Structure formats: structure tokens, C-alpha cells
Amino acid sequence: MSALFISDIHLSQGRPDMTAALVRFLAEEAPGADALYVLGDLFEFWIGDDDPNPLHREVADAFLALSKQNVPVYFIHGNRDFLLGRQFARRAGMTLLGDPCVIELYGERVLLSHGDLLCTRDEGYQKFRRITQQKWLRWLFLRLPLARRQAIAHKMRGQSQMENAHKSQTIMDVTPEAVDEMLRRHGCRLMIHGHTHRPAIHDFPLDGRPARRIVLGDWFEQGSVLVCTPAGQRLETRTLG
């Protein structure tokens, strides 16, 4: 018995090695799992379910093949693919979850999130996030011509890379107080998230009792997989080759 968690793969046509590693993982390892959870940033960017990018079809087919083997696949949006919609989810056999989301895992309440909500010290990003969460703005963007959406996405990626290069690592990491508050609000003592690309298992006290925060890694240099069983949790790596 095991549930698998991944995030921050950042798939793009420029990194076929990451795509191949994910497809191999879905075909060879994930079929034995009780469930697979993808906690955001599956893609480097997403401009709409109508994008005919062949990479999207390849990835959707790989996830659908897994779901047809009776492995539930769940997806939480990331800050890169927050526009991924129901059309792609149906094509991939995925179930979309909110952020944050509480699941029952082997008798324990577990809080799941992409993780960007926890980076409250990055005030500029949090303002940007609140703007992009507005439904009317998303509706408007998705009705722009595909080429226009592609141009906007590339421009925003460039701006984000420039801004992040000048931010301190502390600002871009989660705020401990935000972690505590979210755990308390949802009545959980175990949190799993991605976004920061800093894989680790953090044990800490919360209101006098043990709590745990597990951070998933990215797939830039090696795959990062969290394996959860009734006996506990362990972070593992996978080769991209």
C-alpha cells in the first residue's frame, strides 16, 4: 500500500528528458500505487486547454493510461499551470482538487497545497496571485487568440525569472507562521506541498504536539517522489536518464 506525491515537474518542449522520466514513472511505478497526487506546476506554463501542443497530448495520454488501471490521479494547480482546466483534466483522467485540500490518508488527516500560498513574505507575488485568481480575468485571457496568450505567457515568464533572481531565499521560502495557521485552521498535523523546490521533511512542535511538513522537490536534475505508506513517509529521487 502506498500513495505517491509529485510536483514541480515544469514540463516543456525544451526538456524532453523530464517528459520521458515522468512518462516512464507513470507507466512503470505509479500503477502499483493506491493513488497519485500531483501538487502543481506539472507544466512550465499553461495558456489554455485548447493549446494544441503535442507535449500536452503525450502527457494526458500517459496519465489517462494510469487512471485506466484503477489508480486515482489528483491534481492541485500550481502557480505555473493555474489555468489548467476541466477539459484537460478529463482527457488525462485527473480529478481537480482545491488549494488547500484535506485528504484522509491511511487514517490521518493530511493537508495538501501547492505551497505558494505559504510564501507570505513575498508580498509582490501574493498581490500578483490575488489578481490572477479573479475569474473574470481568467475568462478574458482564455478568450484571447492563442498566439497572443503565448506571447503574454513568455513575457511573464521572463519577468518572473528576473524578479526572482533579485529576491532573497528567505522571502521565497514559506513563512512558518503561515504553515502553523493553515494546519490549525484545517485540523491537521501533516502537510505536503511543493513550490519552493527544497525537498525536505520538517518535524516541529505545533501547540505542544508533533507536526510534520514535507516539501516535494522539482524534476530539473532528478525526479522527486514522496512515498506514503501506513508506516510513514519517505522522500525518494528518480533518475531522469
- Binding site listing: 8, 10, 41, 79-80, 114, 122, 160, 164, 167, 195, 197
**Sequential DSSP letters for 154-187:** HHHHHHHHHHHHTS-HHHHSPPHHHHHHHHHHHT
Give the three-state DSSP class for 96: strand
| Burial profile 38-51: b = 16 or more Cβ within 10 angstroms, e = fewer | bbbbbbbbbbbbeb
* Separation of CA 60 from chain center: 16
* Known binding-site positions for substrate: 79-80, 122, 160, 164, 167, 195
* Known binding-site positions for Mn(2+): 8, 10, 41, 79, 114, 195, 197
Query: Hey, what amino acid is at 104?
Result: E
Q: Decide: 10 and 22 in contact? Cβ < 8 Å.
A: no
**Straight-line distance from the first to the last Cα atom of the chain, in angstroms, rounded to the nearest whole number:** 27
Q: Decide: 64 and 93 in contact? Cβ < 8 Å.
A: yes
